[in-house]
Amino acid sequence: MRVVLLLGPPGAGKGTIAEALVGRTGVVHLSTGDMLREAVRQGSAVGRQAETYMKRGELVPDPVIVRMVEERLQVGAGGGTYLLDGFPRTLEQARLWEASLGRQQARVNLAFLLEAPHELLVQRLTGRRTCRRCGAIYHVTNIPPKQAGICDLCGGELYQRPDDLEETIRKRLEVYRRETEPLLRHYERQGVLVRIDSSRPLEDTVAELVRYLEPAARES
């Protein structure tokens, strides 16, 4: 099992880029944000616990998240590459999870940090629309659907995430700086951090990541 992280602030393009990489490279995409939104939709115990934090733009408690990821990786773990989007998000999550990865003789092989200027992040988040049925991600002006409000892929209804209101976006960006940025040093010290300019057109960013994920570029 190879483990690749997609790190970066809200709006950097983690979900959009992960979707493109699944189609191009066959990686398995695990997004803690998507898992939590699904748990909220189903009204499960984890979902009920998570919903309040998500609405406020705060992080869901570390043990809940780490348990959720561990369960998913144990069920799915084969020989493939796992792309984790939005996890870990605190040093404590990294510490707890890397101990359990070690027990499976696995480690973090690469950690991509997607970077974009603050104003661009806010512009992207306020215009984001997501498909209620299949989760495809659009933007009202940057990446619009062919028909307003309707998903090109499955015909589902597009909606605005409740945490994409301007005040909550500001809070999420502040939480990222405080809780997640310290993780960058952690992965820099492990020699696996790769900084990627995510302010470019989507295709350029995806092409660069595909080159890193190609077999010839992989470390053993």
Sequence-distant (≥ 6) Cβ neighbours of residue 208 within 8 angstroms: 196
Please say whether the beta carbons of 93 and 65 come within 8 A.
yes
Backbone dihedral angles phi then psi of residue 204, each to the nearest 5 degrees: -65, -45
- 15 is a site residue for ligand AP5 (CB under 6 A): yes
CA-closest candidate to residue 205, choices 215, 216, 194: 194
- 81 is a site residue for ligand AP5 (CB under 6 A): no
Q: Select the residue interacting with ligand AP5 from 5, 27, 33, 196 (CB under 6 A).
A: 33
DSSP code of residue 67:
H
Catalytic residue at 161?
Answer: yes
Least distance from ligand AP5 to the Cβ atom of residue 53, Å: 5
138: part of which helix (H) or strand (E)?
A: strand 137-139
Q: Which of residues 41-80 bind ligand AP5 (CB under 6 A)?
A: 53-54, 57-60, 65
- 151 is a site residue for ligand AP5 (CB under 6 A): no
- 36 is a site residue for ligand AP5 (CB under 6 A): yes
Least distance from ligand AP5 to the Cβ atom of residue 215, Å: 26
Q: Which of residues 165-184 bind ligand AP5 (CB under 6 A)?
A: 172
Which tokens hold the place of 36?
A: 């939590």
The catalytic residue positions are 14, 89, 128, 161, 172
